[in-house]
């Protein structure tokens, strides 16, 4: 068994069109990586103006946070997403970002929680991730990587080196 298995059991509806899996199974002896909620702020703390830009920046920030712990998108077992004034258009925007990041691969388990507001004025989206890596996964430097999110996504386990 791999470190992480994502499944959609018979008897439950197919969640793949909505961009998630029903169950994430973590192998014994794995190490969990818990990335706190990432919003749509850039490295200078400036918040993107619109929902789509915030979602893209927040997802990119999540990739950077995971890489700092030796994890990447394919290691994510579960996401929790907070969306201000959620509607189907926002769900579609989020789904496009999941597809950008995971492509045709099975998406992690995910809970989307509609909320009335988030921590910062103007913040519309927040995403947190739980990833699974081998106990011996190498930690990267705690400093911010100069590689782009696309480069991190393409490297094994988001390896920032």
Instruction: Give CATH superfamily name and number for 4-137.
Output: RutC-like (3.30.1330.40)
> pLDDT tier at 154 (50, 70, 90 boundaries)?
low
The b-or-e profile of 147-158 (16+ CB within 10 A means b, else e) is bebeebbeeebb
Pick the closest to residue 83 from 113, 52, 44 (CA basis). Answer: 113
User: Alpha-carbon distance 27 to 6, whole Å?
Assistant: 11
Give this prediction's pTM. Answer: 0.80
Q: Using one digit for the tens of pLDDT, what is the confidence trace for 77-98?
A: 999 999 999 999 999 999 999 9
Q: For residue 138, what are the CA distances in angstroms to 6, 31, 131, 159? A: 24, 12, 14, 9
- The count of C-alpha atoms lying within 13 angstroms of the C-alpha of 50, restricted to the half-sphere facing its C-beta, is 5
């Amino acid at each position: 068994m791999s470190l992480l298995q994502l499944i959609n059991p018979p008897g439950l509806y197919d969640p793949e069109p909505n961009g998630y899996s029903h169950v994430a199974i973590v192998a014994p002896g794995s190490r969990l990586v818990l990335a706190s909620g990432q919003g749509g702020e850039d490295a200078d703390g400036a918040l993107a103006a619109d929902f789509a830009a915030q979602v893209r920046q927040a997802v990119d920030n999540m990739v950077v946070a995971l890489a700092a712990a030796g994890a990447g998108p394919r290691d994510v077992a579960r996401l929790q997403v907070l969306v201000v004034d959620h509607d189907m258009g926002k769900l579609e925007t989020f789904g496009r970002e999941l597809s950008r990041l995971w492509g045709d691969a099975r998406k992690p388990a995910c809970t989307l929680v509609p909320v009335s507001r988030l921590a910062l004025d103007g913040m519309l989206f927040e995403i947190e991730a739980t990833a699974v890596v081998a106990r011996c996964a190498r930690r990267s430097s705690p400093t911010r990587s100069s590689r782009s999110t696309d480069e991190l996504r393409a490297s094994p386990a988001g390896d920032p080196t």
